[in-house]
Amino acid sequence: MTINNIFYVILSIISVLITGVLIPYLKNKNAQNKTENILNSVEIAVKAAEQIYKESGKGELKKEYVLRRLQEMGLKLSEKELDDMIEASVLELNKWKKELKN
């Protein structure tokens, strides 16, 4: 084997590692960060709606506010995904409020 052949073998191994391991890892990391950012945005919008509409029975107004804010932010998710995230955020907020009262 010549030095050129060894160089090409090493370069091929590095290429396989980059395309097979590093790139999928970076894509997964980026997707996780994107999801975290969306969840944080939903949580902030829900908390803002809770502050704006403090009266009982204003659930629909709160939800409309949250959906409008998320749409203004340019989040591209299905309505079902957004509904699930909003409901999860409201559930956490209500648990937190309940714990503070006790």
Q: pLDDT, tens digit, for every residue of 49-100? A: 988 988 888 888 888 888 888 888 887 778 788 888 888 888 888 887 777 7
Nearest to 94 by CA among 62, 47, 61, 48: 47
Domain residue limits, the chain = 3-101
Residue 15 CA to residue 22 CA, distance in Å, equals 10
- What pTM was estimated for this model as a whole? 0.64
